[in-house]
Amino acid sequence: MTRPPDLIYAVNEDPPWPILVVSALQHIGLMAITLIFPIVLAREANLAGTQFLDLVSLSMLGLGVANICFSARSRFIGSGYLCGAAYTAIFLGPSLFALQQGGLALVFGMTVVAGLVQVAFAPLLRRLRALLPSEIAGLVIAVVGLTLAGLGVRYGLGIDAQQQKINPDYVIVAGISLATMTVLNIWSKGYGKMFCVLIGMLVGYAVSAVLGIFDLARIVPEGGLSVVRFPRFEHVGWSFDPVLVAPFAVASLAATLRAMGDVSNAQRINDADWVRPNFGSLAGAVSANGVAVMFCGLVGSSGLNTYSSSIGLSGATGVTSRSIGYAIGFGFCLLAFIPPTAVALAAMPLPVMGAALFFTAAFVFTSGLQMITARMLDARKTLVIGFSFAMAVVADLYHDALMEVPIVLQPIFGNSLVLGTVCAVVLNLILRIGVRQRVSIKLAPGGINREAVEQFLSAQGARWAARRDVIHRAIFGVVQVLEVVGEPRGGVEVEASFDEFNLDVQMRYVGLPVTIPERKPTPREIVASEDGERLLAGYLLRQSADRITAREAGGSVEMTLHYDH
């Protein structure tokens, strides 16, 4: 892992206390926006008074536990990165459906089931990696960015579903808030850049108060608020319905893909040499997500997910320290017992939410695009990405028409992220047919042409859209083997086969296999004789290939150089 130079505090670095606290507050402010999803649920369930406040407080507790789980770095749970958690629209559709069918108890029970499904997915990720390549994770991130931007515009302009009109006061608040964030992010350094979103949101609160959009007196319960209060569980209960397993499982799959995309993005932000996701970290994040969703179901809240905006914020500010993730978690756990903060965050003015969402969406969207375009896209991948992206957009454009599908499919067609994700996974699965390709070249004895081998592998690599660095290593491997085996009787046959995740080069010739030593030869051994040089050749081959095998039968040798792609 190479630390990118533009980071101020990288994942393993601990910022000073004041920066840690203010950075955590900034993320808390951004994440608090997503409390809107459990709040929507509470309003739909007609919760009021202290029960409403309990649901908000317990949702904050859920966010606290989730942030700690996501950032943890252990073998079984946690991504090891600053990976924020947030409530998500992914679970909102199935949750509202469950609410209609069986009330809040069914929502909470099925949320626990969704968490279990995600925990079950986690250990399978490595095996499923062929079905979930990084460009699909990039697609998920890009669609999330687009969704966040759309939501940001809606909140920022004060447009609601019933009345398609722009509210001028909202435009003023959102405009000033967004301009503050943008100016600080681009033209300031140090604290201004690091805390641009928090400062922009505070400015937005102030302007909202002046314009009468933010009025705390309206939301404080009649009996007033105590400073410290333990939330009660009066609204919590659990029930289950097998019919609802399918929509919640699909939501879990979408949340899993989003978590994979978000954590891949966090890995990329923290590693200048990032080429492919670390699956240990991804599996840890997905199991953390599952555990956190189960916890939320148990304490009476809705499902949550990794938070692309939080990762976008860490990329924008250059502060990606894991310790901030823990600080956010403990912060939310503490705030859950302080009702005034729950009220203040639950009452965040919509245009302030809109500005923050729109700002971070820019970083989320471009991160997704970068992940997609990091790979050369052949026709197959172009269709997978293009069709799926279009379907995600179509889901929003023709929402009402698509909701005419049978009820079981509604959770898929009713959500742009879920539809885009399912479309990408299914298309990728279908279009993988015939993806493995095999080519060979015969090198005649008597002056084996190494340049021809180089040209052959370079040309094939371009056709396969293979990674350049992997092709360079393969060329080195083949040339190094040719150098050691010399001019075998009958020449050498070089065969290369490739699929998305593997490049294998087989070399067949008559003679002896190349010695692959266990240890590095010393400089003295290399200088002493050509045997030493051959040992170095074998050692370099072992180091440059991800796996190397040699098979000998009847004087013929087949050497296989394997490279992970």
Please report, as ranges, the residues that interact with another protein according to CB under 8 A: 450-451, 454, 472, 475-476, 479-480, 483-484, 520, 523, 526-527, 530, 532-534, 536-537, 539-540, 543-544
> What is the four-CA torsion angle of 129, 130, 132, 136, rounded to 10 degrees?
130
Helix, coil or strand: residue 539: helix
Q: Which residues contact 263 (CB under 8 A, 6 or more apart)?
A: 79, 81, 83, 277, 281, 282, 285, 306
CB of 133 to another protein, least distance (A): 25
Q: What tokens were used for 337?
A: 């017992």
Q: How far is the CB of 391 from another protein (least distance, A)?
A: 40
Report which secondary-structure segment, H or E, holds 507: strand 502-510
Answer whether 368's CB lies under 8 Å from 261's CB. Answer: yes
Q: Measured at the alpha carbon of residue 141, what is the angle toward residues 30 and 465, in degrees to the nearest 5?
A: 150
The encoded tokens of residue 446 equal: 């008597």
Q: Which is nearer to another protein, 378 or 469 (CB)?
A: 469
> From CA 154, how far away is CA 156, in angstroms rounded?
6
Nearer to another protein, 445 or 523 (CB): 523
Work out how close the CB of 457 gets to another protein at its nearest, in angstroms, rounded to a whole number.
12
Smallest distance from another protein to CB 452, Å: 11
Among 354, 353, 361, which Cα is nearest to 311's?
A: 361
Query: Distance of CA 475 to CAs 446, 468, 494, 517, Å?
Result: 20, 11, 11, 21
Among residues 97, 71, 103, which one has the least CA distance to residue 84?
A: 71
| Smallest separation (angstroms) from another protein to the CB of 94 | 49
How many Å is the maximal CA-CA distance in the chain?
96
Distance CA 35, CA 18 (A): 26
Question: What's the min distance (Å) between Cβ of 546 and another protein?
Answer: 12
Phi, psi angle pair for 564, to nearest 5°: -70, 140
To another protein, the closest distance from the beta carbon of 500 in angstroms equals: 23
| Measured distance CA(109)–CA(239) in Å, rounded | 5
Using a 10 angstrom Cβ sphere, with 0-12 exposed, 13-18 middle and 19 or more buried, the burial of residue 543 is: exposed
**36 or 526: CB nearest another protein:** 526
CB atoms within 10 A of CB 48: 11
* Minimum CB distance to another protein, residue 275 (Å): 13
Cβ closer to another protein: 3 or 534?
534
Would you say 170 or 539 has its CB closer to another protein?
A: 539
Question: Closer to another protein at the Cβ: 363 or 539?
Answer: 539
Rounded-to-integer distance, Cα 322 and Cα 72, Å: 8
All residues at 6 or more sequence positions from 64 whose CB lies less than 8 Å from its CB, including other chains: 328, 329, 330, 331, 332, 333, 334, 335, 336
CB nearer another protein, residue 321 or residue 480:
480
The least distance separating another protein from the CB of residue 499, rounded to whole angstroms, comes to 24
Q: Which is nearer to another protein, 293 or 466 (CB)?
A: 466
**Rounded to the nearest whole angstrom, what is the least distance from the CB of residue 6 to another protein in the complex?**
21
Buried b or exposed e, range 462-481, using 16+ CB within 10 angstroms? eebebbeebbebbbbbbebb
Which of 516, 523, 511 has the alpha carbon at shortest distance from 544?
516
Long-range contacts (CB closer than 8 Å, 24 or more residues apart) made by 458-465:
460/496, 460/498, 462/376, 464/378, 464/437, 464/498, 465/375, 465/376, 465/377, 465/378, 465/381
Give least dist CB 522 to another protein, A: 9
Closest CB to another protein among residues 169, 533: 533
Nearer to another protein, 192 or 532 (CB): 532
The nearest distance, CB 534 to another protein, in angstroms, is 7
Nearer to another protein, 6 or 451 (CB): 451
Residue 488 Cβ vs another protein, minimum distance, rounded to whole Å = 15
Nearer to another protein, 400 or 451 (CB): 451
Residue 537, both tokens: 């050749």
**Amino acid in the structure at residue 334:** L
SS3 (DSSP) at 449: coil
Indicate the residue among 121 and 563 with the shorter CB distance to another protein.
Answer: 563
